[in-house]
A and B are shown apart, each in its own frame.
Chain A
Amino acid sequence: MTTNEFNRNEFVCRCEEVTLEEIEKAIIAGARSISAVKRFTRAGMGDCQGRICGRLVRNLLVKITGQKYESFPPDTARFPIHPVSLSQLNKKNK
């Protein structure tokens, strides 16, 4: 199944401006997880760390590979849970 019905130049990851076409190419080239798509394309590396695009990438993985949704667990979340400066962190740490 392809995603012809969408504009393939649309951004899936708005933070890093990664298009649908780029993500499709990554999956076809062998990226088989959300984190692999991230490493291939940078989708999910921006300020939102995949909060917006993660689910979209997951849906694309399902559509293109034909595997179940459960086969693609979300990427691992890491500290910090929202953007924060070293100054703010240091104040909170004290």
Chain B
Amino acid sequence: MDTQFSVIVVGGGYWGTSIAYHLSDLKVKILLVEQNEIGHGASGRNFGNIQVQDMSNDICLQLALDSFFLWRSMEDRLQLDLEYRPRNSIIYAETQQEWDILRDMQSGKINQGLEVEFWNSEQLCRQEPFISPKHILGATVYREATINPFKVLYGFARRTMENGGVIMENTKVVDFIVEAGKVKGIVTSRGEFRSDLVILTTGAWTKQLARKLDVEIPIEYVYAEAFVTETLPSIFNSYFAPACFFIEAHGTPQVNTTLTATQTPRGNIIWGETNHPSYGKFIPDDNVFPCSQAHIHGIFKEVEKYFPRLLKENLIRSWGVYNPFTPDHHPVFGYPGPDGLMVVAAFKSTVIFLPVIGKIVAELLTRGKSSYDLTGLTAKDTTNSQQRRCL
């Protein structure tokens, strides 16, 4: 078995498979290791939304718009069906304060090329008859898209292997190989592997893994829950999220439920999301993703408020996910520790950035620089008040 690679990617989710694909496409010798199965973490437990209108700063919005353009040709590029479907994204406001903030925030983005529309509740109900308008003042709407997460993950993985990349599932990283202060590889449950660069794309597991190198990465996580219904006729064709979701989901120390909803191409409705913040705790190894009473009660209340006619539809499954985030909501993207280590994790939205970040990483590693100015993308390290070594 070959044990020497140019780049080792740790984490078989969206970031890991995308970066492995983009690098292998340029003939970089890649090993991708995943502690469980491809997509076991958050990348296999999401709505598959390609989100644009919720970007929180200028550089993120510009990258998102560029990446959205790249997404339109991704199926052609990979020569695979990813179930790419254009779809409206609706962010709705319940209170006057939310509506004022939302309009203000989104108006600023119009100048940067985000052609978002503002709908009143009447327009919303004409387009989406199942929504109850009682509690909605207005919404911002943008034509985004959705993909099938599994088709994307396995698509990137398949093309990586066809390009000569090696993927090892059920392979846990237990330590790093460090020589003269540089990271030179990984120690896994299946042996040692060496490389010039190790890229951690380990999401909510990044913090505990980086501590093996005495590197403190400020990534926390929320444990988020969702329900899935049985398949239903086409009821709505949008992704719904309340404006308060983007404030409350990761911003409060208490358990909270804010409704995000969508219907898959197959017809299942997904009701999310109850969030349990878990500051400072490491993810348990037990592979249990429990369904909480708070989720049952919280989702019932929200669906009763916004989609009362759908309360009688049967749920067939619940799921849980460890969603990574940083307290300042800036992603970790760069070289935060010893030479030979890169981290790509905790972007507020992930799917949207896959093409452009994959391209940027490939540029950085093959040409030494990126065609994008990434100033402002990442932020100061909040744990020791020093600027992270970032791109």
Listed in ascending order, the chain A residues whose CB lies under 8 Å from chain B are: 16, 29-30, 32-33, 35-36, 39-40, 42, 45-47, 49, 76, 78-80, 83-87, 89-90, 93
Contact = CB atoms under 8 A, between A and B. Distances in A.
B315 A84 contact: yes
Contacts of B289: 78
A79 B311 CA distance: 17
Given A49-B317, A79-B291, A85-B312, A42 B266 contact: yes
B360 to A, nearest CB: 28
Contacts of B37: 33, 35-36
Nearest to B287: A76
B299 A86 contact: yes
B314 A39 contact: no
Contacts of A83: 230, 314-316
Chain B contact patch, size range: 35 or more
Question: Can you list the 5 inter-chain pairs with the closest CB atoms, starting with the nearest?
Answer: A83-B314, A79-B291, A39-B150, A90-B300, A87-B311
Nearest to B150: A39
A40 B150 contact: yes
A85 B315 contact: yes
Contacts of B303: 86
B44 A78 contact: no
Contact of A78 (B291, B293, B304): B291
B296 A90 contact: yes
B313 interface: yes
A32 B300 CA distance: 37
Nearest to B313: A85
A69 B289 CA distance: 25
B296 A89 contact: yes
Contacts of B39: 39
25 contacts: A16-B266, A30-B157, A32-B169, A33-B37, A36-B37, A39-B39, A39-B44, A39-B154, A45-B317, A47-B230, A49-B316, A49-B317, A78-B289, A78-B318, A79-B317, A80-B315, A83-B314, A83-B315, A85-B311, A86-B271, A86-B296, A86-B303, A86-B304, A86-B313, A89-B315
